[in-house]
Structure 1
Amino acid sequence: MGAPVAAAPAGPWSRRLVDRLPGLAVAVAVASVATVVGGWFPLVGGPVAGIVIGVALAAVRRPAERLKPGITTASKFVLQLSVVLLGCQLSLTQVVRVGGSSLPVMLGSLVACLAAAYFVGRRLGIARDLRTLIGVGTSICGASAIAAVTPVIGAASAEVAYAVSTIFLFNIAAVLVFPVLGHLLDMSQQAFGLFAGTAVNDTSSVVAAAATYGDEAGQYAVVVKLTRTLLIIPICLWLAALTKRRALAAATDGPGAGPRLNVLKLVPWFLVGFLLTALVNTLGLIPDRAHPGLTTLCVFLITVALSAIGLTTDLRGLRRAGPRPLLLGACLWVVVSVTSLALQYLTSSL
């Protein structure tokens, strides 16, 4: 018999996949537990539970070195993939129909919140990336917006964990307070739906707050909320341009020096994917029966990514931040709520 044939050496792609499997498996396992917990407590949800469980595990024992490649992949690539799937929930036809009445309120609330995040955050001495995450999460769509912005600005895991936790706290406050406020102001179903859709962050909290007020308010709020999700695109492009410009300025020792920005290179691949999936959904190429599964998959992928971020969170960084990010979150929550109500009043929507 001839000599046995030696196995071919593993290629670079297969080797990288094998290296990442253990860490990915850990992130998926944590996310699976978090999904169960989120099912028990819908107002908490899987993504928030994932980051909390991940942080708790990291506090007990930091992930081993062999797990880090897979955990990094979960916190970056899986995070970006979840943003692509987010587009499956959007119908551009609904966006156009609802946008005419809700766009002034959405844009006004967005500008007011981001301006407040910048000025109040600087006044409180909060780091730039953290105040950006809290501002974008509050003004657009909570954990989904934070997921989209994180790879664009290269935020640290501790900043992501603090931002998600801050957004979650005021989501709960909104679910409890907003229906009572709506009745005190004698808001119509559509007016409250617009208020909840522009001033509450995560979709689950929007549904909880608006459905408590009424079925019509709940349906309108969800469409407004999904329309608001599209604001992720211009915000990510703007932040990508700012981040690139700062990097170029630092590399050339001063603003205005060095090569010009290449606009095409600023567009993250996952934003293109987000738009394409939204377009595919608008054209009716995604069957209705597939939507629940795709939505569940999207939420699970966000949960996997945030679980991985929790596993790599620097707890000392969280402690150093102190209570100031929570104070910023409270300020922004008030700014968005008051701006939404004021703009509805000025545009005769209230």
Structure 2
Amino acid sequence: MDMEKAKFSLIRIRSIQQLLDRGLTIREILFWVAGLICLLPGMTAPLALVMGLLFANLLGTPYATARTKATDYLLQFAVVGLGFGIGAADALQAGKSGFAMTIIAICCTLALGLTLGKFLKIDRKTSLLVAVGTAICGGSAIAAVSPAIHARQHQISMALGAVFVLNSLALFLFPPIGKFLGLSAGEFGTWCAIAIHDTSSVVGAASQYGKEALHIATTVKLARALWIIPVTFVAAMTFGKGKGNIKIPYFIGFFILAVLANSYLPMANWMVTLIHQLSHTALCLSIFLIGCGLSKKLLLAGGLRVLGQASILWVIISGMTLLVIINF
């Protein structure tokens, strides 16, 4: 046992020495500099995304595996941090007001997505992944459903590529459209939460419209994200011949705890302000890292038919949701 411990310690020391001896490449140095720029106070989500896209397609991005894990943790931290600025009563009201629309939107999106996929002659599993990603929460939903239906890597890549392209567009298109149509903060927040795929883009778009829109969008979006669980079970039974491996978004529970803590525990104003600032910084950095993963190869991986399915589905659902919000 002592020999094994000594051997393990020697291997660890050598690994540390190799890490210290290894020099950083120019690309890695530029990557760290860009990441530090995202920490500056004036950074916004769209600018962070543009920086990431440029970096990925002009220089190539290092640290692929570590970057993916860091993105997940940063985004989850950002979302949980936003919970400290939301009251429990407001969260319940926002969730209640968007509940019926969320259910209708999810059911319509899944049905329409599978129909479009069949019409465009896209295989059922890829079509389902695109529909689920559009209906619930983009890449997170695709990641949850994929193992449950035993999707292949190329099917996952095509669905992710199409959804990521549209997520990037939403971050830029939604705020100007909302302002042009004169949407209120509540209307815009609800629209973002239901019509945009990934939580990162929902939060990024809503943050440009003000604090109230951001709070409503985050609450309704996370209520929508809870549908990952039942939809994954149904998909596993229908497509995967069994329940498969189902990933549950545990950070939603921490968001709820943050809302409760903000509502019922005494917290100093400076502490809440600090958490908000850290959440905004984490959001910008996570969106930069997401942009770094959107290489030209991934963006084109979806192919025209899959991208067409995702685009048509997204435009229809976004338009229908917007009409309902404006008129009702």
* Residue 222 (structure 2) aligns with: 230
1:24-173 alignment runs, 5 A limit: 29=32, 32=35, 35=38, 42=44, 44-47=46-49, 49-58=51-60, 70-75=63-68, 77-85=69-77, 86-90=79-83, 91=86, 93=88, 94-126=90-122, 135=131, 138-139=134-135, 145-152=137-144, 153=146, 156=156, 159-173=159-173
Partner residue in 1 for 2:246: 266
Q: 1:205 to 1:190 in 2, by over 3 A?
A: closer
Q: Matches of 1:191 and 1:50 in 2, distance apart?
A: 30
Name the CA shift for 1:302/1:204 in 2 (closer, same or farther; >3 Å).
closer
Task: State the identity %.
Answer: 15
Q: Aligned partners of 1:192, 1:334: CA distance in 2, in Å? A: 17
Q: Is there any run of 5+ residues in structure 2 with no aligned partner, and where?
A: 1-5, 148-152
Name the CA distance, whole Å, in 1 between partners of 2:169 and 2:162: 11
| Deviation sequence 1:259-304 (CA, Å, 0-9, x none) | xx48xx6344xx2234124413431377302221133124313432
Matches of 2:290 and 2:185, distance apart in 1? 36
Aligned-partner SS, 2:10: coil
* 1:9 paired to 2:10: yes
Contact 1:130/1:160, CA 8 A, preserved across alignment: no
Q: Does the C-alpha gap of structure 1 residues 45 and 114 become closer, same or farther in structure 2, counting only changes over 3 Å?
A: farther
- Alpha-carbon distance in 2 for matches of 1:30, 1:322: 35
C-alpha distance in 2 between matches for 1:115 and 1:207: 31
How big is each residue's C-alpha offset from its partner over 1:16-47, in whole Å with a ceiling of 9 and x where there is no partner? x959x97996795386288489967x473424
Q: Residues 150, 51 of structure 1: CA spacing in aligned structure 2 closer, same or farther, 3 A cutoff?
A: farther
Relative to structure 1, the CA distance from residue 242 to residue 26 in structure 2 (aligned partners, 3 Å threshold; closer, same or farther) is: farther
Pick which of 272-281 and 233-242 moved more.
233-242
Match in the other structure for 1:299: 284
Given residue 297 of structure 2, which amino acid in structure 1 is its aligned partner? D
Q: Equivalent of 1:321, from 300, 303, 318? A: 303
Q: What amino acid sits opposite 1:227 in the alignment?
A: T
Match of 1:300, as an amino acid? L
TM-score by length of 1: 0.63
Number of aligned pairs?
297
Unaligned runs of at least 5 residues, structure 1: 212-217, 250-254
Q: Distance in 1 between matches of 2:231 and 2:94?
A: 26
Pick closer, same or farther for the CA change 1:122–1:273 going to 2, 3 Å.
same
Distance change (3 Å), C-alpha of 1:31 and 1:310: farther
1:214-293 equivalent positions in 2, closer than 5 A: 218-231=210-223, 233-238=225-230, 240-241=232-233, 255=241, 261=243, 266-268=246-248, 271-284=249-262, 287-289=271-273, 290-293=275-278
**Change in CA separation of 1:139 and 1:48 when aligned onto 2, cut-off 3 Å:** farther
- CA-to-aligned-CA distance 1:127-167 (integer Å, 9 cap, x gap): 66765665455555xxxx33433543366556434422222
Name the aligned partner's letter for residue 74 of structure 1: R
Measured in 2, the distance between the counterparts of 1:274 and 1:195 equals 20
Determine helix, strand or coil for the equivalent of 2:294. helix
RMSD over equivalenced CA pairs, Å: 4.7
8 A Cα contact 2:194 2:221, kept in partner: no
Q: TM-score, normalised by structure 2?
A: 0.67
Distance, in Å, in 2 between the alignment partners of 1:111 and 1:27 is 44
Summarize the Cα distance change of 1:190–1:35 in structure 2 as closer, same or farther, 3 Å threshold. Answer: closer
Q: Is the 8 A contact 2:207 2:214 kept in 1?
A: yes
CA change 1:170–1:132 in 2 (3 A) is farther
AA partner of residue 246 (structure 2)? L
CA shift in 2, pair 1:279/1:158, >3 Å: same
**Whole-Å Cα distance in 1 between the matches of residues 206 and 258 of structure 2?**
25
State the shift of 1:104 in Å: 2.0
Partners of 1:301 and 1:104 lie apart in 2 by 31
Q: Secondary structure at the match of 1:310?
A: coil
Give distance in 1, aligned partners of 2:173 and 2:290.
25
Residues 342, 229 of structure 1: alpha-carbon distance in 2 compared, 3 angstrom cutoff:
closer
